[in-house]
């Protein structure tokens, strides 16, 4: 049993971690332990009870003055309870003031995992156990249901919260976070993933200072700038040693992650939807569902944390029929043509792609409406037959005749003002009446909170899937939300629009994945601006970044790998000089970098010299042969691009340790270079491995030698040189 309850002490056990909370004599739900596996001792004895001054006392504790929510570790802290730290809930129950006090009411334990209506959530069968704890306001019929599911093998605990109004009057929610974890200690470090368009998920680690540290997206998408995944780590934690906690938020809209080191040197960590410009009117008998958080602990460094998260997401989050399959090698025309193409040209590229061994051709932006630039056409999801020179169905048939699968680009959530859709339904855009709109990429955002909008988009997309036989959709989103006003909601409910927008996106995605389970969906948001665990529930792969430069991708993919399985990383080879940063890298290096997940090409294959085409054939053969490693192997970050100026290296090892592939990309050159060694991981000490480098036999070595002694790396022969190792146990 992974959940035990004794005297209102709730102990959640995973294989290697323990999480505990306790409803105390005053019915406050305290948090008492999260860390390496231990027994079910009541750990509340560790809590210091003292009068720390200027910390309020709840009714019944005012005389002793040693009991204050201002420093007690809690599961779901609330504004107005005398706790002045960051909190999960701000709720006005009718007085006009947020003064809720949540007290333990009841609990239940059951087998299996909870799900959340309308929101992504990890799934599991009987191997999971769930604890539900109900808290109730001290005075009002206002409840919070805390949900915890334990995935024992994965060392994962998922959490969500449901706010229930059983009063006779509405409540106004001003902040609802999903999870709080209180640590009775200071000195934790925060590892997070910041970025920008074309530079997503850069790993940054720093000690938490006293006060509040905040990572936030207010953009309506999880964003390029911050990722809704973060790690708390004890100092000196490395890839292979030390205690660290990963927290992934399964949500694709604005979010807020906060850490606070308080006056008593304790650390509080909270994740939830963005509360900036948020408010939600909760009518009597209504519930509000706060999205899920996935927590995972490792006592042996970041590598182990990533392995557990990759496994957990692969087995309990990604649902697609494609999830365990080799992803098609894609040729996408975006960087080959941008908007400037016709049907003949598209078929020309597809023809070449088929000859080289590509599996799928993807027609990117510009095939629909009046869309010859990014100033028009969004929303008009019917083919521009004049531009294509044929119907979409005919084009699809021609692509299929070449032996390729066919995919299409969509940007469903957006509308151009110069479009038939906008002319017909200007009220479908999120614009504030009487005010100038903020445009992004010259486009407006559709009001996805409306069912008529979702229905329209479903009809367009499903019509095309049915009539034009497409096997893949790239689901893009190319701007952030600004002032988000829905014409269907009253002014006091406009604070709900951003969250309702995300719920609408999920509703549309859910309909599509339910009705077309065989469709491969690739998420995208100007590259990796919506790369989050919420999206993975619908899309088994995500376009990692609009930056296709192999060297910059090293950092982006390294950061992405901390939480997200490599099978989800969509990476393509593009032309050189690179279109984003003008760097020239060898084709071989571009291939090695792109073979970390879902592989493809983003260039005009017709323009490649013959010898490059021959090399492309070899790359594709290599990917197809070793895809199980590149997509599903255990991923090892061997040499960090953030720490080593000279080279970056990574490895994929098979679960049974009988096979592995490692790659090295040189990022600097030196005259008279010193020896460099690469120590492999994840092998079996005793097994003998036949080692090849770029196809050349290097001999047979024990796993012990390769992991402890390592490999002597070759000296690079050109800028951004690279090599790829393959090992197989004899």
Sign of CA dihedral 230, 305, 184, 106: positive
Neighbouring CB atoms inside 10 A of 717's CB total 9
Q: How far is CA 125 from the centre of its chain?
A: 23
Residue 541 sits in the site that holds ligand DGJ (CB under 6 A): no
522 near ligand DGJ, rule: CB under 6 A: no
Region of 379-387, 412-420, 519-527, 627-635 interacting with ligand DGJ (CB under 6 A): 519-527
CB of 487 to ligand DGJ, least distance (A): 27
Nearer to ligand DGJ, 320 or 478 (CB): 478
Q: Which is nearer to ligand DGJ, 164 or 365 (CB)?
A: 365
Burial group, residue 281, by CB count within 10 angstroms (0-12, 13-18, 19+): middle
Cβ(157)–Cβ(249) under 8 Å?
no
Q: What is the DSSP letter of 44?
A: G
Give residues with Cβ within 8 angstroms of 57, minimum separation 6. 64, 65, 67, 68, 82
CB of 522 to ligand DGJ, least distance (A): 10
- DSSP one-letter string for 254-304: -EEEEEEE-TTS-EEEEEEE--TT--EEE-TT-EEEEEEEEEEEESBHHHH
Q: Does 137 bind ligand DGJ (CB under 6 A)?
A: no
Per the omega criterion (within 30 degrees of 0), is the bond before 577 cis? Answer: yes
In terms of CB distance, is 248 or 524 closer to ligand DGJ?
Answer: 524
Contact between 627 and ligand DGJ per CB under 6 A? no
- Helices marked H in 331-450 — which ranges? 334-337, 343-356, 385-388, 392-401, 420-424
Q: Which of residues 6-45 bind ligand DGJ (CB under 6 A)?
A: none
Residue of the chain from 20, 177, 213, 478 that contacts ligand DGJ (CB under 6 A): 478
Cβ atoms of 466 and 459 within 8 Å: the answer is no
Residue 247 or 409: the one with the smaller Cβ distance to ligand DGJ is 409
Q: Which of 140, 532, 602, 659 is catalytic?
A: 532
In the complex, the smallest distance separating the C-beta of residue 67 from ligand DGJ, rounded to whole angstroms, is 53
DSSP string, 289-342: EEEEEEEEEESBHHHHHHHHHHHHHHHHT---TTTTSPPPPEEE-HHHHTT---
Stretch that binds ligand DGJ, among 36-44, 137-145, 504-512, 521-529 (CB under 6 A): 521-529
CB-nearer residue toward ligand DGJ: 570 or 667: 570
In the bound state with ligand DGJ, the residue whose beta carbon lies nearer, of 149 and 443, is: 443
Among residues 360 and 711, whose Cβ is nearest to ligand DGJ?
A: 360
Write the CB contacts of 27 (distance below 8 Å, at least 6 apart in sequence): 103, 104, 105
> Contact between 524 and ligand DGJ (CB under 6 A)?
yes
Piece in contact with ligand DGJ (CB under 6 A), picked from 157-165, 426-434, 524-532, 615-623: 524-532
Does position 274 interact with ligand DGJ (CB under 6 A)? The reply is no
The distance of closest approach from Cβ of residue 545 to ligand DGJ in the complex, given in angstroms and rounded to an integer, is: 8
List the one residue from 526, 586, 600, 703 that touches ligand DGJ (CB under 6 A). 526
Options 120-128, 140-148, 392-400, 523-531: segment touching ligand DGJ (CB under 6 A): 523-531
Closer CB to ligand DGJ, residue 315 or residue 364? 364
- What is the b/e burial string over 50-86, where b = at least 16 CB atoms within 10 angstroms of the residue's CB? eeeeebebbeebeeeeebbbbbbbbbbbbbbbbbbbb
Scanning 29-173, the segments in alpha helix (DSSP H) are: none
> Considering the complex, what minimum distance in angstroms separates the CB of residue 388 from ligand DGJ?
17
Closest distance to ligand DGJ from the beta carbon of 334 (Å):
5
* Closest approach of ligand DGJ to the CB of residue 320, in Å: 20
CB atoms within 10 A of CB 7: 7
Least separation in angstroms between CB 477 and ligand DGJ: 9
Residue 351 catalytic?
no
Which residue lies nearer to ligand DGJ by CB, 320 or 547? Answer: 547
CA 426 from centroid of its chain's CA atoms: 33
The answer to whether residue 413 forms part of the interface with ligand DGJ (CB under 6 A) is: no
| 546 lines the binding site for ligand DGJ (CB under 6 A) | yes
Show contacts with ligand DGJ in window 339-398 (CB under 6 A).
364-365
For residues 389 and 394, what is the distance between their CA atoms, to the nearest angstrom? 10
Q: How many helices (H) and strands (E) does the chain have?
A: 13, 37
With respect to ligand DGJ, which residue has the nearer C-beta, 414 or 616?
414
Q: What is d(CA 264, CA 262) in angstroms, rounded to the nearest whole number?
A: 5
Do the strands 9-13 and 3-6 form a parallel or antiparallel pair, or are they unpaired?
Answer: antiparallel
Q: Pick the binder of ligand DGJ from 242, 254, 291, 527 (CB under 6 A).
A: 527
Binder of ligand DGJ out of 289, 313, 334, 501 (CB under 6 A): 334
Nearer to ligand DGJ among residue 545 and residue 724 (C-beta): 545
Structure tokens at 487: 């014409």
CA distances from 608 to 201, 339, 340, 587, 617 (A): 32, 20, 19, 11, 12
Residue with CB nearest ligand DGJ?
365
Q: What long-range pairs does 255-258 form, CB within 8 A, spacing at least 24?
A: 255/216, 255/217, 255/222, 255/226, 255/228, 256/177, 256/214, 256/215, 256/216, 257/192, 257/214, 257/215, 257/216, 257/226, 257/228, 257/230, 258/86, 258/212, 258/213, 258/214, 258/215
Measured CA distances, 617 to 332, 357, 398, 490, 610 (Å): 16, 6, 22, 59, 11
Spatial separation of the C-alpha atoms in residues 277 and 174, rounded to whole Å: 9
Pick from 294, 192, 305: nearest CA to 239: 305
Environment class of residue 125 by beta-carbon count within 10 Å: exposed (0-12), middle (13-18) or buried (19+)? Answer: exposed
Region of 258-266, 295-303, 520-528, 673-681 interacting with ligand DGJ (CB under 6 A): 520-528
How far apart CA 552 and CA 639 sit, in angstroms, is 15
Looking at 137, 476, 532, 549, which residue binds ligand DGJ (CB under 6 A)?
476
The pair of three-digit structure tokens given for residue 423, joined into one six-digit string: 């002319």
Size of the site for ligand DGJ (CB under 6 A): 11
Between 8 and 202, CB nearer to ligand DGJ: 202
Q: Work out whether 689 is an interface residue with ligand DGJ (CB under 6 A).
A: no
Piece in contact with ligand DGJ (CB under 6 A), picked from 123-131, 282-290, 453-461, 522-530: 522-530
Considering 612, 614, 655, 668, which one is annotated as catalytic?
A: 612
Least CB distance from residue 411 to ligand DGJ, whole Å? 7
Under the binding rule (CB under 6 A), the answer on residue 199 touching ligand DGJ is no
Please tell me whether residue 6 adopts helix, strand or coil conformation.
Answer: strand
Least distance to ligand DGJ, CB of residue 338, Å: 8
Secondary-structure percent of the chain, ordered helix, strand, coil, rounded to 5: 20, 35, 45
Check if 418 is active-site.
Answer: no
Q: Which of 543, 601, 630, 635 binds ligand DGJ (CB under 6 A)?
A: 543
As measured in angstroms, the least distance from the Cβ of 476 to ligand DGJ is 5
Rounded to the nearest 10 degrees, how much is the dihedral formed by the CA atoms of 102, 103, 108, 114?
A: 10
Q: Nearer to ligand DGJ by C-beta: 364 or 604?
A: 364
Q: Is the torsion defined by CA of 497, 502, 508, 510 positive or negative?
A: negative
Asked if 409 is part of the footprint of ligand DGJ (rule: CB under 6 A), the reply reads yes
Footprint of ligand DGJ on this chain (CB under 6 A)?
334, 364-365, 409, 476, 478, 524, 526-527, 543, 546
Residues serving a catalytic function are 532, 612
């Amino acid at each position: 049993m992974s959940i035990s309850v004794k005297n209102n002490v709730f102990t959640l056990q995973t294989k290697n971690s323990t999480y505990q909370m306790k409803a105390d004599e005053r019915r406050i739900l305290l948090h008492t332990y999260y860390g390496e596996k231990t027994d079910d001792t009541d750990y509340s004895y560790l809590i210091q009870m003292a009068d720390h001054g200027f910390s309020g006392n709840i009714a019944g504790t005012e005389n002793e003055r040693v009991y204050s929510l201002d420093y007690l570790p809690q599961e779901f802290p609330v504004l107005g309870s005398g706790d002045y730290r960051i909190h999960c809930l701000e709720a006005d129950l009718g007085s006009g003031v947020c003064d809720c006090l949540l007290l333990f009411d009841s609990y239940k334990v059951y087998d299996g995992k909870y799900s959340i209506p309308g929101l992504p959530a990890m799934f599991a069968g009987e191997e999971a156990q769930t604890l539900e704890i109900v808290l109730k306001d001290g005075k009002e019929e206002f409840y919070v249901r805390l949900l915890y599911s334990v995935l024992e093998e994965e060392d994962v605990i998922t959490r969500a919260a449901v706010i229930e109004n059983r009063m006779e009057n509405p409540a106004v929610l001003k902040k609802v976070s999903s999870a709080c974890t209180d640590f009775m200690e200071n000195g934790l470090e925060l590892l997070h993933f910041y970025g920008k368009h074309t530079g997503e998920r850069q790993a940054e680690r720093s000690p938490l200072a006293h006060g509040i540290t905040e990572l936030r997206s207010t953009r309506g998408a999880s964003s390029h700038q911050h990722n809704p995944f973060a790690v708390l780590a004890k100092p000196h934690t490395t890839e292979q040693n030390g205690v660290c906690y990963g927290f992934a938020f399964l949500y694709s809209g604005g979010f807020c992650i906060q850490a606070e080191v308080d006056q008593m040197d304790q650390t509080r960590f909270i994740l939830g939807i963005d509360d900036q410009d948020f408010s939600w009117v909760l009518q009597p008998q209504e519930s509000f569902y706060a999205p899920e958080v996935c927590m995972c602990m490792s006592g042996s460094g970041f590598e182990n944390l990533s392995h557990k998260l990759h496994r957990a997401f692969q087995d309990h989050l990604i649902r697609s029929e494609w999830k365990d399959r080799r992803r098609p090698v894609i040729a996408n025309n975006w960087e080959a043509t941008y908007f400037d193409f016709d049907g003949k040209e598209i078929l020309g590229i597809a023809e070449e792609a088929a000859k080289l061994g590509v599996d799928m051709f993807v027609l990117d932006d510009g095939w629909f409406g009046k869309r010859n630039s990014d100033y028009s056409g969004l929303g008009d999801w019917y083919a521009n037959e004049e531009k294509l020179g044929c119907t979409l169905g005919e084009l699809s048939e021609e692509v299929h005749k070449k032996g390729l699968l066919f995919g299409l680009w969509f940007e469903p959530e957006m509308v151009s003002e110069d479009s038939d859709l906008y002319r017909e339904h200007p009220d479908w855009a999120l614009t504030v009446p009487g005010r100038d709109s903020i445009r992004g990429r010259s486009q407006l955002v559709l009001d996805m909170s409306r069912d008529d909008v979702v229905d329209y988009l479903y009809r367009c997309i499903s019509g095309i899937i049915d009539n034009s036989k497409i096997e893949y959709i790239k689901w893009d989103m190319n701007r952030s939300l600004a002032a988000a006003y829905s014409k269907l909601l009253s002014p006091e409910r406009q604070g709900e629009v951003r969250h309702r927008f995300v719920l609408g996106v999920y509703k549309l995605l859910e309909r599509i994945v339910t009705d077309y389970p065989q469709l491969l969906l690739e998420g995208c948001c100007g590259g990796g601006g919506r790369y989050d665990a919420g999206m993975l529930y619908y899309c088994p792969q995500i376009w990692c970044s609009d930056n296709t430069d192999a060297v910059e991708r090293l950092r982006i993919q390294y950061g992405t790998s901390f939480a997200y399985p490599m099978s989800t990383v969509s990476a393509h080879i593009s032309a050189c000089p690179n279109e984003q940063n003008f760097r020239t890298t060898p084709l071989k290096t571009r291939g090695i970098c792109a073979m970390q997940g879902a592989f493809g090409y983003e260039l005009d294959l017709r323009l490649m010299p013959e010898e490059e085409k021959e090399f492309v054939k070899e790359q594709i053969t290599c990917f197809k042969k070793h895809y199980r490693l590149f997509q599903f192997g255990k991923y090892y970050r061997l040499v960090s691009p953030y720490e080593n100026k000279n080279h970056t290296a990574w490895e994929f090892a098979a679960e049974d340790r009988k096979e592995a592939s490692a790659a090295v990309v040189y990022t600097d050159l030196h005259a008279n270079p010193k020896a460099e060694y690469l120590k492999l991981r994840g092998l079996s000490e005793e097994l003998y491995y036949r080692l090849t480098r770029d196809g050349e036999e290097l001999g047979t070595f024990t796993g012990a030698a390769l992991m402890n002694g390592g490999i002597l790396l070759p000296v690079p022969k050109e800028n951004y040189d690279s090599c790829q190792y393959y090992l197989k146990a004899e």
